Amino acid sequence: MLRRTFMIGAGALAMAPIEVEASVPPLDASIKPSNLPEQFQPSEVRIRNDVAPNEIHVDPVQFALYYTLGNRRAMRYAVGIGRVGLYESGEFFVGAKKAWPSWTPTPDMIERDPASYKKHEDGMPGGPTNPLGARALYLFQPGRGDTFLRIHGTHLPSTIGKRVSNGCARLVNDHIVEFYNRVPLKTRVVLHPATA
């Protein structure tokens, strides 16, 4: 049922899973498999025929990210999303992509939780324990530029399916690597409203 309830407007995007072969293994041997339960594994699903191909849709209610493939198909990935009050819905585009990105908390993050973030105000190099994980897609908006929202990896599988971040959507590292390789720059991204 989880895969059938993603909403765009008044109709469900995902309809039913399709049998597919196992996901592509990570290209980086330092990335360990996340061993998430089956319901959190990437899967190909059927979608409505009015959804354009090569777009990213994040459903915060179902903790799911869909990458549309065309021919009424999409890849579905389980995600963690922004905590209540920090998730920002809207339309964006992928303005940058980085492997093992460095990370610097925003001033708002430091203000909200100085005990956690002040020590990193000068930044943290990319690596296995970096909060952005193995890969990151940087979300931009026309006229605004970098929104500081990301779709990124995490080494913490326990955060998937939860509202845990400062606004970003996160996939486990082995899933973000596979997803990152699919997505070109300028891809349209829709972060749908959190209605539940």
Q: Provide the annotated active-site residues.
A: 152, 168
User: Which residues are CB-contacts of 195 (< 8 A; sequence separation ≥ 6)?
Assistant: 7, 61
Looking at this protein, which amino acid is placed at residue 46? R
Q: How far apart are CA 132 and CA 102, in angstroms?
A: 8
**Distance, C-alpha 10 to centroid of its chain:** 23
**Distance, C-alpha 92 to centroid of its chain:** 13
Give bridge partners of residue 169 from the DSSP assignment: 151
**Residue with structure tokens 């996901």?**
23
Pair type for strands 55-59 and 188-191: parallel
Neighbouring C-alpha atoms within 13 Å toward the C-beta of 104: 5
Query: Encoding tokens for residue 161?
Result: 């399916």
Query: Encoding tokens for residue 57?
Result: 């849709």
